[in-house]
């Protein structure tokens, strides 16, 4: 069966929007994180500190883990749906389908609103997950880079203490304290540290 023009247009639009999102995702998430840090205050203190605690766990390979999690969720959802359809009487499923069709015809705007709400919720959820991953990557990358730069100039014990402090990090205050210590060591030993990545400042 030939693919309709509308379907091909939807595919092209999806690809283009995905590429545009990839281009703007980092500055967009960076700006959002900056606003959270500036205006979140006590209301979002737990969320903010949890991100730094998450970073203290060290570098992890996010992509395979998230893909496996997504695949398991899809399989579980499909399995539960299949079981539910087999357990319910056929008459019930037929009536439900007919009611849904009548509701869509009687209230077309309601279906659009639901679609917008669902799409917005999914987009927001994806942005939150992506933001957490990007923040984790930038925090760990900046710390490792700055520590590697200063390592030749300081004793091994100091490096171990910095890594231990990072592993024990529980809040943004702990993170800022580690950065202050790094910058003081760099100043004492005349070492030029690279600037942290945007979301790690």
pLDDT tens digits, 97-141: 788 788 777 777 877 787 788 878 877 777 777 788 888 888 998
Residues sharing a CB contact under 8 Å with residue 4, sequence separation 6 or more, in sequence order: none
> Which residue range forms the structural domain that includes residue 135?
5-200
Considering the chain, what percentage of its residues have pLDDT values greater than 70? 83
**For 148-173, what is the mean pLDDT?**
94
How many domains does one find in the chain? 1
**170-to-33, 115, 154, 173 alpha-carbon distances in Å:** 18, 39, 25, 8
**pLDDT > 90: what percent of the chain?**
27
Does residue 29 have a pLDDT over 80?
no
Residue 87: C-alpha distances to residues 77, 97, 98, 150 (Å): 15, 16, 19, 64
Between 85 and 162, the more confident residue is 162
In the DSSP assignment, the letter for residue 197 is P
Residue 46's pLDDT is 81
**Whether residue 31 has pLDDT greater than 60:** yes
Q: Is 170:49 a contact under the CB 8 Å cutoff?
A: yes
Contact at 8 Å (CB) between 198 and 138?
Answer: yes
Distance CA 143, CA 173 (A): 15
Tens of pLDDT, residues 49-99: 888 888 888 877 766 777 777 777 777 777 777 777 677 777 777 887 788
Count Cβ neighbours within 10 Å for each residue of 135-153 and write b for 16 or more, e otherwise: bbbbbbebbebbbeebeee
């Amino acid at each position: 069966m030939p693919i309709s023009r509308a379907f091909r247009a939807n595919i092209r639009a999806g690809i283009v929007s995905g590429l545009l999102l990839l281009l703007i995702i980092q500055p967009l998430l960076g700006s959002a994180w900056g606003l959270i840090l500036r205006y979140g205050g006590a209301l979002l203190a737990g969320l903010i500190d949890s991100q730094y605690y998450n970073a203290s766990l060290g570098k992890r390979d996010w992509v395979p883990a998230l893909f496996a999690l997504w695949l398991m969720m899809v399989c579980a959802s499909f399995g539960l749906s299949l079981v539910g359809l087999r357990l319910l009487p056929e008459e019930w499923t037929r009536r439900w389908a007919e009611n849904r069709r009548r509701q869509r015809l009687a209230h077309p705007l309601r279906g659009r609103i639901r679609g917008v709400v669902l799409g917005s919720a999914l987009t927001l959820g994806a942005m939150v997950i992506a933001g957490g991953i990007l923040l984790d990557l930038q925090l760990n990358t900046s710390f490792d880079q700055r520590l590697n730069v200063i390592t030749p100039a300081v004793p091994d014990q100091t490096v171990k203490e910095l890594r231990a402090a990072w592993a024990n990090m529980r809040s943004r205050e702990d993170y800022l304290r580690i950065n202050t210590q790094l910058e003081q060591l760099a100043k004492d030993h005349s070492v030029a540290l690279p600037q942290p990545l945007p979301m790690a400042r």
